[in-house]
Copies of this chain bind each other. A is one copy, B any other.
Amino acid sequence: MSHFSRKIPKGDSREREVCEDCGYIAYENPKIVAGAVVSHEGQILLCRRAIEPRSGFWTLPAGYLELHEQPEEGARREVREEACAEVVLEGLIGIYTVSRLSQVQMFFRARFAGGPAFGAGEETLEARLFAWEDIPWAEIAFPSVTWTLELWRAGLDGMTDLARFSKKV
């Protein structure tokens, strides 16, 4: 069994999880979530979640970045896993820090690599292209999905304005 306890290691200024037996320090740091707004002829690809949290609600394909991945690679992988689509990324839309969860979310603008081929991955009940006016705003899974869609709609002009594309909650 692990015997971790919270201590300030020598030369550090913060409490860390330190193993009582071997001294191993388990640093905990924020995790990156990478995702994409995939659009086709003005329509946007959303996925209805098959898993908790927020099962049954609509989301953009997104998930935790894996070791060695670039955020762009993670976003493309998540689109592949959750919406069975191959996409090309075209720009960064926004960066959202969800402080409570220690998540830094990065969303990219994307288009289908070929035609608009997609489907429901394992964590998805249903994948669908929505015209802007048909987006089910009341059934969106997470606030950052709404923010990302709004910045997507506003275009790329905001990218030089840090306060506009980077937000913390």
Contact = CB atoms under 8 A, between A and B. Distances in A.
Contacts of A129: none
Contacts of A102: 67-68
Contacts of A166: 70-72, 92
Contacts of A29: 31-32, 64-67
Contacts of A100: 68
Nearest to A157: B160
A30 interface: yes
Q: Interface of chain A, helix or strand or loop or mixed?
A: mixed
Interface in A124-169: 156, 159-162, 165-166, 168
Interface residues of A, number: 44
Nearest to A108: B162
A66 B14 contact: yes
Interface in A16-33: 19, 21-22, 24, 26-32
A69 B30 CA distance: 8
Interface in A63-82: 64-73
